[in-house]
Every structure is written in C-alpha cells, then in structure tokens.
C-alpha cells in the first residue's frame, strides 16, 4: 500500500522556538495532505487541509500564523509550529490522499511526530 | 455539529472471543465510512471502508463492518479475535471532511 513518512518521529524543543515537521508520500503523488493533532485518549482532530501549490485550509480554532503549512510539491508537506509553547505538546499526524478514483477519499497516514515543548 | 462516537473506550477479550465495536455518527446525508487500526508503535492503517453498495463490508484480517443507515451506525466485528488483534481501533466518517471517533483500545489476552 501507499507509504507516508514523517520526520522527525520525536522532537523536544524549548518554549519560544519553532519546529518543522515533514510529511512525505513515498510512492505516490498526493495533491492533498491533512494535518491532525491527537490528544491523549481523544480522537484525531483535523487541523488543516494542505493542497499542493495553494494555501492551506485551516479548521476553526486553529491559528494559521502559529501552525504554518507549506505544500510545495506533490510529495511533501511541512507543518511548522512557531513560537512553541508547552500546550502545543502533542502528537501530530499527517495523512495523504491519493489520486482521483475509487480511492480518492482514502487517506494514508504517517507514523506521527511526538512534539514536546519544555 | 457532526460527530463520531465510539462507545467502548477499552475492551478486553480472550482469544477466540467475538468482537463488536460500536460506531455511531450524527449526519443525515451521504457519508463514507472507515475503520482504521493502530497497532502498538505503528501508524494508522485502513481496515475497511464503505462508500456504497453492499452495507456489509469485508476488510483485512477477518474484520467486517455493517453500515446500518437507519441507526447511523457502522459497527466493526470479528468472529474470533487473536492476540495479534491487540491495537487501538478508530472509526472515521467523511461528510465534507474526515471526523474520527475517540478510539477503542482492544486488549486480547492469549
């Protein structure tokens, strides 16, 4: 099946610094990528939808100036957490959607990135 | 507001027991339905999906799910679980975007 990677898998940063997380589709082109945040014992919360070559669409309540998303190519989307604070500590997961067709709504998930802000 | 509910947060079963995990959603229109599994230390993987047609969907590893439109449900079932089924299971529903349930942790005792 399709493979999506994320880098780094874990990152610890100091409060006030910025952190970039990469999401790559390894064996397919993804015109759309999604960024989720997973809270302990809670469901995945969609943060934003990233479309290649255009601005990301953010969900209500997600600060676009804080969570910068760039989708510069069909295989790479990045999420930058700017001026991180301890409350930004979480598990961030990306997913990529395949090309149009029967699987057009199927998402392939990355392994996630554990962010800890100290 | 649209939502997805998974009623069982933690389920413990012995091997060979039957499994049914509940999933209900709140939306009256057309939906696409998914079950994902996350094995310990691994990423989310698709178990099965429903777009249209036969409401009884067969997935990988012996799992199946039944879409009951009148009940807004998409319960996951497996007749006989194995220790290797120990994982967290997420129901997801796509209306205009994806909504995930809070997950059910399944522990299968050998």
Q: For the range A46-52, what are the long-range contacts, defined as Cβ-Cβ under 8 Å and sequence gap of 24 or more?
A: A46/B97, A46/B98, A46/B99, A47/A79, A49/B97, A50/A77
Phi-psi sector, B71: left (phi>0), alpha (psi -120 to 50), beta:
alpha
Name the nearest CA neighbour of B99 among B47, B31, B48: B31
Minimal Cβ distance to B43: which of A34, A42, A112: A112
Residues of A in contact with B36 (CB under 8 A): 109
Which chain B residues are within 8 Å of A111, Cβ to Cβ?
42-43
**Could you count the other beta carbons within 10 Å of the beta carbon of residue A27?**
10
State which residues of chain B have pLDDT below 70. Answer: 1-2
Q: What length is written for chain B? A: 110
Residue A44: strand pairing partners: A38
Question: Which residue of A lies nearest to B102 if distances are taken between CA atoms?
Answer: A43
Tell me the two tokens of residue B56: 């009884």
To the nearest whole Å, the CA of B62 is away from the closest chain A CA by 18
Q: Judge: B46–A106 Cβ closer than 8 Å, yes or no.
A: yes
pLDDT of residue A99: 62
CA distance B77 to B80: 9
- In the predicted model, residues of chain A with pLDDT beneath 70 are 1, 98-105
Residues B28-46 pLDDT 10s: 788 899 999 999 888 888 9
pLDDT the model gives residue A67:
97
Determine how many CB atoms are found less than 10 A away from the CB of residue B34: 27
pLDDT digits (tens, 9 = 90+) for A71-105: 888 899 999 999 999 999 999 999 998 665 545 56
At residue B24, the pLDDT reads: 96
**Rounded to whole angstroms, how far apart are CA atoms B41 and B87?**
10
């Amino acid at each position: 099946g399709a493979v999506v990677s994320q880098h780094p898998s874990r990152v610890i940063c100091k409060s006030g610094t910025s952190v970039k997380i990469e999401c790559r589709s390894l064996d397919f082109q993804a015109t759309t990528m999604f960024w989720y945040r997973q809270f302990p014992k809670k469901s995945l919360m969609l943060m934003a939808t990233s479309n290649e070559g255009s601005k990301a669409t953010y969900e209500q309540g997600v600060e676009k100036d804080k969570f910068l998303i760039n989708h510069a190519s069909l295989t790479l989307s990045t999420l930058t957490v700017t001026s991180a604070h301890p409350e930004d500590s979480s598990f961030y997961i990306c997913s990529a959607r395949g090309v149009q067709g029967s699987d057009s709504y199927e998402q392939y998930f990355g392994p996630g990135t554990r962010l800890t802000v100290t | 507001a649209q939502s997805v509910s998974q009623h069982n947060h933690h389920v413990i079963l012995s091997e060979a027991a039957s499994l049914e995990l509940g999933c209900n959603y709140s939306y009256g229109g057309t939906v696409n339905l998914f079950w994902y599994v996350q094995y310990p230390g691994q990423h989310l993987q698709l178990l099965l999906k429903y777009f249209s047609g036969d409401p009884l969907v067969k997935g990988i590893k012996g799992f199946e799910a039944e879409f009951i439109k009148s009940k807004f449900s998409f319960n996951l079932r497996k007749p006989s679980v194995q220790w290797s089924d120990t994982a967290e299971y997420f129901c997801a529903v796509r209306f205009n975007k994806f909504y995930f349930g809070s997950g059910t942790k399944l522990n299968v005792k050998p």
